Amino acid sequence: MFEFGRDLRKLFEKARESEDLGWLELVGPELVQIEARREGIDAGRVSAPRPFDGWMRASALWREHARRTGSRASLDRAASTASDAARHTSNPDQTAAAAIESAAIHLLRFDLFGGPAALTAALSDLQSLTCERAVTRSAAAALHARLSARRARLSGETNALLDAGALLDAAVHDARSLPPPVADELRLDRAAMSLEAGVARRDARMLDQAGRDLRALVEAASPDQRPLTRARALALAGAGMAALAALAKDETAAAQGRALFDAAADQFTPDHSPLDWATVLLASASEATPLIVLAQAEAMTCEPGLLIGALVRERRLSAEVAVAETLSDVRGLNGLEAAVRRRLAEPGRIQPLDWAADQIGMARLVLARARLTGEAPRAVGLMLAEALETARELGAGALADRAVLAMPEAAV
């Protein structure tokens, strides 16, 4: 995307002079990690001229590395450096900025690993902030709106969803002073909420709003400068088009959705942002998705407890079960079951979301074998009910949906 050496040095110099970290989209996670370490080392020197700024940049870099790779260690380093920044504040606005960064880390922790407690911790960080600069006030409002949207979606209450939508609208209206990456995250969240509500309620106004937000994001995000933002907007548009096509049974719309997913996948390589790539893959995956591709995604999202990793594992196992059933391969199903049971038998090592994904896979295995052998499936309802409850408790709606789809009634 650019010449290494001089151009790369210019990018990192730009990072030290600006709050806009959009340039990070041009470099791979390894370079983000290297620069995060360097920023932390520089900020920790006794001679550091502005340690607060250095710790804040280090935290933002570690947070971006975690967002792309799912690394729990990087997320923990982001939290640690944000705490270091909080210890070096010199005015109320810096104190507020450090609290906002801490809340952003909690928000990302929820997105990556689930757990409503992370949202509660984030909202706690945002309480009673004193913001002197307009950009800090806007950043606090934007993050509060994004947190409220997630809590509203967890609750499913109509009033909470309406209130969250109003907060997102107000925050977007006041986003002019925000750095582009922060404003883009806000608009992506508003588009996602509008799209979800618009599809569920057949609400043309909300669908139009989502379309406007996504079109603006795609047009503003150059593939040569903001490939990841562009890909995320294209993938969200593809998901919306696919949902509408399914409702209307419109093959033309379905083809448009697939084209949008293909365009999103073309913006970057899997190693440039493994989690973004896996997200696009899951959103666009069909029965024709090769097992080798799903296995590659699983290898790139293997951090224990990672939501996207649990979703990929469940999808890969589902695909393997489907292949074995198509081939009437009972022995193959038995081998898959043995592998799942070995993983489930590792006490203290398997995370709740991974456990839920394996429970869904085990239920699919049992049902497939029952169809092939005629034997009565046992404990399927219990497996899926426990997986569904675990996913919902952790706020993993996508995994909960997979548990519902696996239920025998849904299959029939």
The pLDDT of residue 2 is: 41
DSSP 155-216: H--HHHHHHHHHHHHHHHHTGGGS-HHHHHHHHHHHHHHHHHHHHHHT-HHHHHHHHHHHHH
Backbone φ and ψ of 125, nearest 5°: -65, -30
DSSP 225-267: T-HHHHHHHHHHHHHHHHHHHHHHT-HHHHHHHHHHHHHHHTT
User: Can you tell me the distance from the alpha carbon of 244 to that of 225, in angstroms, rounded to the nearest whole number?
Assistant: 31
Give the tokens for residue 330: 């009972």
192-217 confidence digits (pLDDT tens): 999 988 888 888 888 888 989 999 99
Q: What residues does each domain of the chain span?
A: 1-128, 285-412
Place of tokens 């509500």: 197
254-312 confidence digits (pLDDT tens): 899 999 999 999 999 999 999 999 999 998 877 678 999 999 999 999 999 999 999 99
pLDDT score of 65 more than 80 = yes
The pLDDT of residue 18 is: 59
pTM value > 0.85:
yes
Three-class SS state of 146 = helix
Contacts (Cβ under 8 Å, ≥6 apart) of 378: 366
Mean of pLDDT values over 100-125: 96
Give the tokens for residue 383: 């497996």
What percentage of the chain exceeds 70 in pLDDT? 93
Residue closest to 285 by CA, chosen among 255, 316, 256, 307: 316
The pLDDT of residue 334 is: 95
The pLDDT of residue 206 is: 87
The pLDDT of residue 412 is: 37
Contacts (Cβ under 8 Å, ≥6 apart) of 170: 141, 145
pLDDT score of 234 more than 90 = yes
29-41 confidence digits (pLDDT tens): 999 999 999 999 9
Give the tokens for residue 133: 């600069």
Is 87 exposed, middle or buried (CB count within 10 Å of its CB: 0-12, 13-18, 19+)?
exposed
236-265 confidence digits (pLDDT tens): 999 988 888 888 888 998 899 999 999 999
